[in-house]
A and B are shown apart, each in its own frame.
Chain A
Amino acid sequence: MKNNSPVKLAISGLTKKFSANEGVANINLEVHQNELLTLLGPSGCGKTTILRAIGGFNKIDSGKIVLDGKEIQNLAPEQRPTGMVFQSYNLWPHMTVYENMAFGLKLRKEPKEKMQEEIRAMLQLVNMSGSEKKYPAQLSGGQQQRIAIARALVLKPSLLLLDEPFSALDAKIRGQMREELKRIQNEAGLTVLFVTHDQEEAMAVSDRIAVMHQGNIEQLAVPTEIYNAPASRFVAGFIGEMNFISHGSETLAVRPEDISITSGGAGGNGEIENIMLLGHYAQIFLRAASGETLKVFLPKERLADFTQGQRVHYTITRQTVF
């Protein structure tokens, strides 16, 4: 379990306010060695604020950021052992891929042969071998992001900071890049702090996810726990699909796949309003006796048993109560 590995980054009491409503207050967070931790939340939730504070691009109001046992909150960005990749415009268009990657190494006065070797190896890691002489404008968006990641990694950062690095890419490329990131992280043994608003992406790549809302971390847990046992109503609604059923003074949160239906003959407690086939599963809208409409997922093999307007029995197999 990565949770048992030593703490790489420890943030305590981090506060950064842009105005009364904007910013983050009193954030505490630990990232372990070789862990990929995701800050997930809607735009404006403060996830990027935290990431930029770690990278040194936001001056924080108060709090401590400890990386590898050293406090870094007062260092300039160039003095921090972090590597950052932004959503876009990472590369310098007037330099070739090689020059882009060599920029930081030259500042560290690395010998030329060693530099060439490291750049070649890093390009291989991100599947961009042989692109040294190309200019950024000659590369696709996905390729540019690979180079940006390689440029950060060639400096062997203690912590890799990714600020929505795939958000500007096409859906298909985005999926590929996720897999690549996971592979690169494992191969290079990286500690990564990843920021995204895409919950699917977060689920796919993360060891742990911190779900953020209005400047607070609402839940910090492994993806399955976030999905199966959301700690708050916000998390329940933000991650995946969820039915909210009012039940007296309580609200039941039920995943569409946690409602099972059987054909109920004349009786039954629900009626099928609509059936939609979405690839390997179908989505059914069910009107419950209470008048609420529920979303139900059904494996496509069972679809033959049901038609629109049919009376059915439904039972909830698993729920979270708020």
Chain B
Amino acid sequence: MKRLYYTLGKNKFWEYLLCAAFLLIFYGPLVNMVLVSFAEKYEYPNVVPATYGFKWWNYVFSNGKLVESILVSLALAVVVTLLSLVVCLPAAYALARYDFKGRSLVRLSFLFTNAFPKMGIYTAMAVIFYKIGLMGTFFGVVLVHIVNTMMFMVWIPSGSFRTVHIQQEESARDVGASALRTFFMITLPMAKPGIIVAALYTFLGSMEEAQGSLLIGLPNVHTMPSELYGIIMSFPDTAGAVFAIVLLVPSVVLMIVFRKYLSASALSNGLKM
């Protein structure tokens, strides 16, 4: 240790130590989860499982209800993302371009759903959903998810739209493009990074949302996170670990595919007041 300390120098030594601690804190639980998911025989005094195998993977994928919840969650996330793009992008554009009375209030209002305890909002929504027959429906769950993700879906693209200069849109009109064509061929491609980040947040947010899905969706709509509650309570840890990894896969894949868009600037543009 002493040798290492002097070889690296004082600053470097502590940097490495800090880095090691971070790695352990960030990835330790993940590694443990992966390990546990492949465990077949794993009893108390052992630190690592005694034997490995696909027993619990087989269990999860042969359970029709669980597989169905995976498909439901994916379908939900896709529908929520597309629908909130359709609903929120026009609002984001209006907030970025038009200087109307009460603009900052409208902007702030999208924060409200994230500013109060969620359960209160869900309960209030449930009361209304009962009356209009949306309880236990797919569409009801979609609405709950959109309430959650609306803030990101409006704020971040709005920040991106603001980086598109009005002259760039006017130039397109000038050379013969209609307002609609200008939006789709000039404004939207230029704002794409922010929109992708927002869509990513929405997709992942929808994948992991549990509270609202449980309250509004049950007993008909089972999503992965809401199923996870049941699994954790009624099966060994190993099944839970498998399911958690399945839940993790879409996030990791999306992050890797869209990593070049995941910059701090896209986020901070959206959060500028």
Complex: A82 Cα to B175 Cα, angstroms: 8
Q: Which of B173, B174, B189 counts the most A-chain CB atoms under 10 A from its CB?
A: B174
Complex: A103 Cα to B172 Cα, angstroms: 8
Q: Which of A82, A83, A103, A108 counts the most B-chain CB atoms under 10 A from its CB?
A: A103
Among the 9-residue stretches B72-80, B152-160, B162-170, B210-218, the one with 4 or more Cβ atoms under 8 Å from chain A is B162-170
In the complex, A142 has a CB within 8 A of chain B: no
In the complex, A77 has a CB within 8 A of chain B: yes
Majority DSSP secondary structure for residues of B touching A: helix
> Quick one: closest B residue to A163, CB to CB?
B167
Give B253 Cβ to nearest chain A Cβ, in Å: 26
Cβ of A84 and Cβ of B172 under 8 Å apart?
A: no
Return the contact of A84 from the options B171, B177, B189, B190 (Cβ within 8 A): B171
CB contacts (< 8 Å) of A88 on chain B: these are 165, 167
Complex: A229 Cα to B92 Cα, angstroms: 54
Return the contact of B176 from the options A78, A89, A92 (Cβ within 8 A): A78
Cβ of A104 and Cβ of B175 under 8 Å apart?
A: yes
Complex: A104 Cα to B174 Cα, angstroms: 9
Return the contact of B173 from the options A56, A92, A94, A155 (Cβ within 8 A): A56
Return the contact of A155 from the options B170, B172, B176, B189 (Cβ within 8 A): B176
Cβ of B172 and Cβ of A86 under 8 Å apart?
A: no
Q: Which of A262-288 contact B (CB under 8 A)?
A: none
Return the contact of A152 from the options B170, B174, B181, B185 (Cβ within 8 A): B174
CB contacts (< 8 Å) of B189 on chain A: these are 94
**Contact-size category for B:** 10 to 19
CB contacts (< 8 Å) of B167 on chain A: these are 86-90
Return the contact of B168 from the options A90, A104, A155 (Cβ within 8 A): A90
Cβ of A92 and Cβ of B174 under 8 Å apart?
A: no
In the complex, B186 has a CB within 8 A of chain A: yes
Return the contact of B175 from the options A57, A86, A155 (Cβ within 8 A): A155
A77/B174 contact (C-beta < 8 A), A92-B190, A93-B190, A94-B190 known: yes
Cβ of B173 and Cβ of A76 under 8 Å apart?
A: yes
In the complex, A20 has a CB within 8 A of chain B: no
Interface string of A71-115 (1 = CB under 8 A from B): 000001110001110111111111000000001100110000000
Cβ of A86 and Cβ of B186 under 8 Å apart?
A: no
In the complex, B51 has a CB within 8 A of chain A: no
Return the contact of B174 from the options A82, A89, A94 (Cβ within 8 A): A82
> Quick one: closest B residue to A55, CB to CB?
B174
Q: Which of B170-224 contact A (CB under 8 A)?
A: 170-179, 181, 185-186, 189-190, 192
Give B179 Cβ to nearest chain A Cβ, in Å: 8
Give B261 Cβ to nearest chain A Cβ, in Å: 13
Q: How many residues from A make CB contacts under 8 Å with B?
A: 26
CB contacts (< 8 Å) of B190 on chain A: these are 92-94
Return the contact of B172 from the options A82, A92, A108, A152 (Cβ within 8 A): A92
Complex: A82 Cα to B178 Cα, angstroms: 15
CB contacts (< 8 Å) of B165 on chain A: these are 88-89
Cβ of B171 and Cβ of A90 under 8 Å apart?
A: yes
Complex: A88 Cα to B165 Cα, angstroms: 9
Q: Which of B109-165 contact A (CB under 8 A)?
A: 165
CB contacts (< 8 Å) of A90 on chain B: these are 167-168, 171
A78/B168 contact (C-beta < 8 A), A92-B186, A94-B189 known: no
Complex: A148 Cα to B171 Cα, angstroms: 9
Cβ of A107 and Cβ of B171 under 8 Å apart?
A: no
A78/B177 contact (C-beta < 8 A), A92-B186, A93-B190 known: yes
> Quick one: closest B residue to A80, CB to CB?
B174
> Quick one: closest A residue to B187, CB to CB?
A92
Cβ of A108 and Cβ of B174 under 8 Å apart?
A: no
Interface string of A122-140 (1 = CB under 8 A from B): 0000000000000000000
Complex: A56 Cα to B171 Cα, angstroms: 11
In the complex, A151 has a CB within 8 A of chain B: yes
Return the contact of B177 from the options A56, A83, A103 (Cβ within 8 A): A103
CB contacts (< 8 Å) of B178 on chain A: these are 76, 78
Complex: A181 Cα to B181 Cα, angstroms: 31
Cβ of B173 and Cβ of A86 under 8 Å apart?
A: no
> Quick one: closest B residue to A52, CB to CB?
B170
Complex: A241 Cα to B102 Cα, angstroms: 48
Cβ of B173 and Cβ of A78 under 8 Å apart?
A: yes
CB contacts (< 8 Å) of A155 on chain B: these are 175-176
CB contacts (< 8 Å) of A152 on chain B: these are 174-175
A57/B172 contact (C-beta < 8 A), A89-B165, A92-B186, A94-B190 known: no
Give A194 Cβ to nearest chain B Cβ, in Å: 16
Which residues of A line the B interface, CB within 8 A? 55-57, 76-78, 82-84, 86-94, 103-104, 107-108, 148, 151-152, 155
A–B Cβ pairs within 8 angstroms, 6 of them:
A56-B173, A77-B174, A84-B170, A104-B177, A107-B181, A151-B175
Closest 3 A-B residue pairs measured CB to CB?
Answer: A104-B175, A89-B165, A77-B173
Q: Given contact pairs A94-B192, A151-B175, enumerate 12 new A-B contacts (beta carbons under 8 Å).
A: A57-B173, A78-B174, A78-B175, A84-B174, A88-B167, A90-B171, A92-B190, A94-B190, A103-B177, A107-B175, A108-B176, A148-B171
